[in-house]
Amino acid sequence: MPPVSIVQVHDPRVRWGVRASGVVRIIPATEWTTPAVDALAALGALPWTGARTRRVIVVRGARGREVALLAAGPIDIADVDPASVLALPAQLADRAPQIAAIIVAPDASLSLLLELAAVITPDDIVVGEELCQSRS
Amino acid sequence: MRSLVPITIDATWVAVDMASVREIGGPLTWIALPTASASLPGVAAWRGRAVAVTDLAAVLGAGERLASPAGRLRTLYMQFGASTLAVPVDSVREPLVVPDDDVRQARIRTETFCIGEVDVEGHTTLVVDLGVLLDSYRPAVAGVPY
């Protein structure tokens, strides 16, 4: 099987990533004018309160809308052996639909692979935008 | 007769059914899931798949909680039906076989996972069935490679 390309964020809270196929672009945070989504905080982790982030990962969200994920740490792009991408055990997967799998790195460290469709929900749309669309 | 594997978490002695133990390994590397519970706080990789990690300190309410990514000195890998649990512990004692009558009703704990008490090396040791912890999760299917 071909390797899986993952955009990984070395977040001090926990290393996480998303499939590169779902990433539109990676840009400096200063170029993104609306608030970026703290994906880990959306999962229940403590919100990022550390140093100002330098980059955001722009992904395609609900209805094709672009959404920026806050990158609270260095970013890299890795080609991962599919055998190193392990689905969560069923008893935890049911309670964590936002987490697609864990990734085992060559040094045996682990990271989370986020499920973009679950992290980027219609709720991420800026308040008021949904209302305007439904009236048009 | 019952075959038990005594283990310790800090100063707490616990025994599990030897039939459920698949492997005894060294320190575990695991990752916490933000959405997980205190008793099953995260996952680890084992034999090419992800397995749930059980924090016995959280289950028992005794001892220092696990902190990702470090585990404890030893890890028990236990099988309950289609589910596998990785259980970090401080020590694993020599397995023992005891007559059923030597396992008395648990007096020190009353939770459903506590199925009895037995004396091991002079310590009152709680016999636990960690499979009970999985009952509330009720997996629909076993975890499979992604």
DSSP letter at B136 equals T
Predicted pLDDT at B107: 84
**Residues of A with Cβ-Cβ distance to B141 under 8 angstroms:** 90
CB spacing of A92 vs B140 below 8 angstroms: no
Please, what are the domains in chain B? 2-135 (2.40.50.180)
pTM of the model: 0.84
Highest mean pLDDT among A115-119, A120-124, B32-36: B32-36
Average pLDDT over residues A31-54: 83
pLDDT (tens digit per residue) in A76-85: 999 999 999 9
DSSP string, B20-72: GEEEEESPPBEEE-TT--SSS-EEEEETTEEEEE--HHHHHT-SPPPBTTB--
Cβ distance of A89 and B139 shorter than 8 Å: yes
pLDDT number for residue B138: 55
Residues B88-138 have pLDDT tens digits of: 999 999 999 999 999 999 887 888 888 999 999 999 999 999 888 777 665
What confidence category does residue A40 fall into, taking pLDDT thresholds of 50, 70 and 90? confident
Lowest mean pLDDT among A99-108, A115-124, B2-11, B110-119: A115-124
pLDDT at A99: 92
Chain B contact for A94, CB < 8 A?
Answer: yes
Record: contact A86-B146, CB cut-off 8 A: yes
Instruction: Give the domain ranges of chain A.
Output: 4-135
Q: What share of chain B in percent tops pLDDT 70?
A: 92
Cβ contacts of A111 on chain B, cutoff 8 Å? 31
